[in-house]
Amino acid sequence: MPAGKIVFYTGIMDIADNPDGIAAIMGHEVAHALADHGAQRMSLGIVQQAGGMITAEVSKNQEEHKRERIIMAYGIGTTVGGMLPFSRKHESEADKIGLELMTIAGYKPEEVPKLWARMKAQSKGKQPEFLSTHPVEDRRIANLKEWIPLAKALAGEIKTITYIN
């Protein structure tokens, strides 16, 4: 949110189910902020818009129906081939960083795949992953299970750091 605020709606509390689930959601959202995903998406959107203006200008002498198809193809191609994969990459990155943050903070990382299983049970309708801003739940759950040992190792390393005054 603007001004660096992190918000999630109370409707997700039932899915969170417990403090570890809340920590998973908050860790994920904090990770987006730490990784500056919002600014990156805005930058990519500006590039996409500039490309759209260039496409419109270059195609201005085409017959109208052909020009419309060119502009439509540009929009679909850059969204499906650029914007959506970029967004899914951000979501996966936020999943990993959020898992690490919550584990370092002392929450149970094993709860995160369970949270996504509950999210999957609540989801209405499926669309192909290539048309989505988020990875499919099964991929997220598999990735998170794979990353749990890494998050635990990182948390252990951080807790063993000795500070010298």
Cβ–Cβ under 8 Å, residues 153 and 103: no
Residue 88: CB atoms within 10 Å: 19
Residue 42: helix, strand or coil by DSSP?
helix
Q: What distance in Å separates the CA atoms of residue 106 and residue 29, rounded to the nearest whole number?
A: 17
CA distance 14 to 17: 5
- Neighbour-count burial of 125, counting CB atoms closer than 10 A to its CB (0-12 exposed, 13-18 middle, 19+ buried): exposed
51: exposed, middle or buried (C-beta count within 10 Å: 0-12, 13-18, 19+)? middle
List the catalytic residues. Answer: 29
